[in-house]
Structure 1
Amino acid sequence: MDDHRTAFLKASWVNVVTNVLKIAVEGGLGLAFGSLALVADAAHSVADLLASAVVLVWGRLSFEGPDADHPHGHDRFEPLTALFVGGTLVLLGLKLLFDAWRAIRSAPESHYSVFLAVGLGFAFVDRLFCYWYTKRVNRVVESPGLSALVADSKNDLYTTAAAVVGVAGMAAGTPVLDPLAGALVSLLVIRQGVEVSRENVDYLVDTAAPERVREEIRDEILAHDDVHGVHDFTAYHAGTVLEVEFHAEVDAEHSFVEAHDIETELRNALVSREDVGDVHVHLDPAGLGEWKDADEDRPSPTGN
């Protein structure tokens, strides 16, 4: 866990630093030569910088263990962080779209310079490196916060490509392409924000695990030699991990110690999964009329 935390912090800092550099280069050149496409791309990076800072500050809390105020740990901090990122991107995209529309309706005033092309080249390399590094780290860390930043960096490549169209239009004597490119950038920003928000809302509202995952967990429970059936089974998100609750049906002849051992084995087996955070097991003995999901291939514990 300490290694994951260190890798998470490094990737977060890489996102912060690369965004600062991109903002300085693109923003300065865009303002100097009147390129709305570059200004929009730089403004997008301002949101990226805010998102990176939030992930750095809040996201690292998810690596903290349970405490008196958070008995189930801090797993909800990361989706909360990513949701903030998504909402910020949507608002910023709408603002940029409005600015682009206003510029299209008026006569765009922009002046092409080779420095604009150099700035775009720098921005593209900057975001490509950030995307590659963050994605590589997140293959191990599997952080929703970093996943949001990976998606953000990937979309940055598209927005920078759109800005290239705008600058190319300036070079060709068609300055209206610059605000049009800015509008395209805005739409990409809005789309990204909606996707990130939708994914992390599911984490925060205790959405059930996908059916495939639920079936996998049920199969693991029923694979135990002493379990004849499962009922009242639920598996739902508690942050980025799953809470699993179920009643396991076992023979009534087991001693209290044996029943305890069965419960412990079931819990340990499920908690060992990377996607499971906590497990709540209730054992039901035979004779209570609750053998709803009993395995037909196994003999009934009552002999019937």
Structure 2
Amino acid sequence: MNVDDAKRRFSRASWANVLGNAIKIVAEGAAGLAFGSVALVADAAHSVADLVASVVVLVWGSSSFDRPDDTHPHGHARIEPLTALFVGAVIVLLGLNLLYESTQGIIEGGTGVRFSPLLLGALAFAMVDMYLVYWYTVRQNEGVESTALSALAADCLNDLYTTVAAIIGVLGVLGSYPILDPIAGWLVSLLVVYQGIEIGRENLDYLVGAAPTGAKREEITAEIKSHPDVEGAHDLTVFYDGTVLEVEAHVEVDGEMTVREAHDVESELVDRLRALEEVGDAHIHLDPSGLGEWKDAAETDHRSD
């Protein structure tokens, strides 16, 4: 998929999240305020954070598809996890506020809540709305593999769970147990906070250049050593640059190779590594085989001077 197609898919999915969350806020917020349901207001407020996050992703996240320029020679890939990190932070802050409001409702015993079929109707509408947005976001993200869109899709999925909790709260009001409404709001708030922390943690790793899992490192090492002209490898460094991996390695080959032969080996290794999932770029330094000891000896001699 080319960059222009990926950017179009990204934009369509972002707009779907903006519109879907706006509709959900109106439906749940109006019903919750009209009948005093903490659970519905909490779920609608959660969607306010989702709406803010969706707008940020739409406006800011699409910049990650811009091509490298003089001010960003390595591209704009880190904008995407930075956008997703902002999404996570907004979700955590709103979740903590909802947790406080729900706790107050529990202390007050859930008084002031009135049952109405419109509450259940608003929640049913919200579930259908969020499922459609989730399905569309996942579909558009196929081939794009955007972490920002993945964060929005995960949020849509969590919205389904929080809405189920809100339904339980409303049914509690119907069954003369109004305290279930703020309890449901409290559970929704905990899930919101957890979701925001998980999104932030994942994307912080992308921003600080963390290393991938040991399995990915082993896969990269195996790919390097599988080349028939490679006799060894050392000083392998693998780290995230934005959402993709950068690979740096010293590779040992026959010291009698011509410059052209060595160039071909290097190009083949770079192409092989770039073809691996998650790998964005690779930098290979070729060494004549058997010089690992020479490197250590040189360092020892230098320290003794």
Report the TM range for the smaller structure's normalisation. Answer: over 0.9
**1:58 partnered with 2:65:** no
Partner of 2:71: 69
Instruction: Give the 3-state SS of the residue equivalent to 2:239 in structure 1.
Output: strand
Deviation digits for residues 21-47 of structure 1 (CA, Å, limit 9, x no counterpart): 000110011111111110000000000
**1:5 partnered with 2:7:** yes
Give the drift of 1:274. Answer: 4.0
Partner of 1:80: 82
**Within 2, Cα distance between the matches of 1:287 and 1:175?**
76
1:67 alignment partner AA: D
Which of 185-194 and 267-276 deviates more?
267-276
Conserved 8 A contact 1:26-1:42: yes
Conserved 8 A contact 1:41-1:163: yes
Instruction: Give the 3-state SS of the residue equivalent to 1:140 in structure 2.
Output: coil
**Aligned positions, number:** 292
Give the drift of 1:189. Answer: 0.3
Give the drift of 1:87. Answer: 1.1
Conserved 8 A contact 1:245-1:280: yes
**Within 1, Cα distance between the matches of 2:221 and 2:140?**
31
Partner of 1:32: 34
Conserved 8 A contact 1:41-1:160: yes
Conserved 8 A contact 1:284-1:290: no
Normalised by the length of structure 1, the TM-score is 0.92
**1:96 partnered with 2:98:** yes
Instruction: Give the 3-state SS of the residue equivalent to 2:276 in structure 1.
Output: coil
**Within 1, Cα distance between the matches of 2:113 and 2:35?**
6
Which of 188, 191, 204 is matched with 2:191 structurally? Answer: 188
Give the drift of 1:218. Answer: 1.2
Give the drift of 1:188. Answer: 0.8
Deviation digits for residues 177-197 of structure 1 (CA, Å, limit 9, x no counterpart): 111111111011011111111
Which of 53-62 and 265-274 deviates more?
265-274
**Within 2, Cα distance between the matches of 1:188 and 1:138?**
24
Conserved 8 A contact 1:249-1:291: no
Deviation digits for residues 196-238 of structure 1 (CA, Å, limit 9, x no counterpart): 1111111111111211111111111112121110000011111
Instruction: Give the 3-state SS of the residue equivalent to 1:252 in structure 2.
Output: coil
2:158 alignment partner AA: N
Which of 284, 288, 296 is matched with 2:287 structurally? Answer: 284
Give the drift of 1:140. Answer: 2.1
Aligned pairs for 1:153-232 (under 5 A) are 153-232=156-235
**1:45 partnered with 2:44:** no
2:266 alignment partner AA: E
**Within 2, Cα distance between the matches of 1:28 and 1:236?**
47
Instruction: Give the 3-state SS of the residue equivalent to 1:208 in structure 2.
Output: coil
**Within 1, Cα distance between the matches of 2:94 and 2:29?**
15
**Within 1, Cα distance between the matches of 2:219 and 2:160?**
37
**Within 2, Cα distance between the matches of 1:287 and 1:177?**
72
Conserved 8 A contact 1:247-1:282: yes
Which 5+ residue runs of structure 1 have no aligned equivalent? 293-304
**1:245 partnered with 2:243:** no
**RMSD value over aligned CA atoms?**
1.5
Conserved 8 A contact 1:33-1:111: yes
Which 5+ residue runs of structure 2 have no aligned equivalent? 296-305
Conserved 8 A contact 2:232-2:289: no
Conserved 8 A contact 1:229-1:291: no
Instruction: Give the 3-state SS of the residue equivalent to 1:141 in structure 2.
Output: coil
Superposition misfits of 4+ residues, deviation over 4 angstroms = none
- Change in Cα spacing, 1:290 to 1:230, as seen in structure 2 (3 Å) is farther
Partner of 2:20: 18
- Change in Cα spacing, 1:291 to 1:152, as seen in structure 2 (3 Å) is farther
Instruction: Give the 3-state SS of the residue equivalent to 2:248 in structure 1.
Output: strand
Identical pairs, percent: 59
Which of 129-138 and 234-243 deviates more?
129-138
**Within 1, Cα distance between the matches of 2:294 and 2:65?**
40
